[in-house]
Amino acid sequence: MMRIGLFLLTNLAVLIVFSIVFAVLSRVFGLGSVFGAGGLNYTSLAVMCLVWGVVGSMISLFLSKWTAKKSTGTVVIDVPKNGTEQWLVDMVARQAKAMGIGMPEVGIFDNPQPNAFATGWNKNNALVAVSTGLIHTMTPDEVEAVLAHEIGHVANGDMITLALIQGVVNAFVMFFARVIGNFVDRVVFKNESNSPGVAYYVTSIVMDILLGILASAIVMWFSRLREYRADEMGAKLAGRDKMISALNALRPAEARPDTMPEAMKAFAISSGQSQSFSIAHLFRSHPSLDDRIAALQKLH
């Protein structure tokens, strides 16, 4: 209940701030008011939602490395202190060169579960990090495959693509939530004034939540698709057998609760999920390990 309450309060705050910002943009760029004598100005609303949705996602993208470091406690390897750190840096450098991308920052975060992630706002300004659990439980060949998987994410531009998809989805959610809110306000509650009534705001917030849940299934579908692509890239760089072995090595961890921060789960190689199918799979960022391994086995 507290999480729902915080979400509602945050959404209300976003609406208020958004209204103020858009009012300023409307005056400067002549976009017109969102509300007029006939109700919603759909052109102004569409521009407002697109700007807000995409800009919000882009800000998150630009802050992704900083957020990742803070949320996971990742320590970047500036100067390798031992052979393991030197090996990690050298391996990432070799793989990045093979893919024609800039050298990412390499880091380690303290987590007993084997895991890794890649993030950053573009291919040449990324961060690749592995957990202490991954280093301690996987063989060098398996770690190499995991690193290749993460480099695959970077080379494929998955971070910026995911951010753009999230931004566009957010824009659609905001737009249709307010269109529905306006319909309820005007048609159901018979509000004929030039200003929106309480029904508009209440309905918009409720639809933000409901449509947001449905839209997240679209974003998670893309997230699962990019995992297959990153696995394929990992197999290309490190070898298919190494990639399959690395995924199999993740099985024990999937039976335990996931300790990765919520905001980082979509970027990790493992999401700590069960293998049985349920409706929840539609909202999961990763395919099952069985499905990922089966896809790799089909590669020639």
With cut-offs at 50, 70 and 90, classify the pLDDT of residue 75.
very high
pLDDT digits (tens, 9 = 90+) for 137-173: 999 999 999 999 999 999 999 888 888 888 898 889 8
Q: Is the pLDDT of residue 23 over 70?
A: no
Question: Cα–Cα distance between 267 and 65 in angstroms, integer?
Answer: 11
Using DSSP, state whether 295 is helix, strand or coil.
Answer: helix
**pLDDT (0 to 100) of residue 286:** 86
Residues tagged in the binding site annotation for Zn(2+):
149, 153, 227
DSSP annotation string for 162-174: HHHHHHHHHHHHH
Q: Is the pLDDT of residue 58 over 70?
A: yes
With cut-offs at 50, 70 and 90, classify the pLDDT of residue 3.
very low
Catalytic residue among 105, 150, 232, 254: 150
With cut-offs at 50, 70 and 90, classify the pLDDT of residue 2.
very low
With cut-offs at 50, 70 and 90, classify the pLDDT of residue 56.
confident
Residues tagged in the binding site annotation:
149, 153, 227
Higher pLDDT, 154 or 51: 154
For the chain, give the number of residues: 300
Higher pLDDT, 24 or 111: 111
* 275 contact partners, CB below 8 Å, separation of at least 6: 254, 288, 289, 290
- Range name among 5-19, 64-78, 140-154 with the lowest pLDDT average: 5-19
- Range name among 88-92, 112-116, 187-191, 251-255 with the lowest pLDDT average: 251-255
Mean pLDDT confidence for 242-267: 73
**pLDDT (0 to 100) of residue 19:** 58
With cut-offs at 50, 70 and 90, classify the pLDDT of residue 7.
very low
| Active site annotation includes 144 | no
What percentage of residues in the chain have a pLDDT greater than 70? 79
Q: Note whether 222 and 121 are within 8 A (CB).
A: no
Distance from the first to the final alpha carbon of the chain: 50
**pLDDT (0 to 100) of residue 275:** 45
Mean pLDDT confidence for 25-42: 68
Element (H, E) at 109: strand 105-109
* 214 contact partners, CB below 8 Å, separation of at least 6: none
Q: Is the pLDDT of residue 28 over 50?
A: yes
pLDDT digits (tens, 9 = 90+) for 173-226: 889 998 999 999 999 998 888 778 889 888 988 898 888 888 888 888 898 999
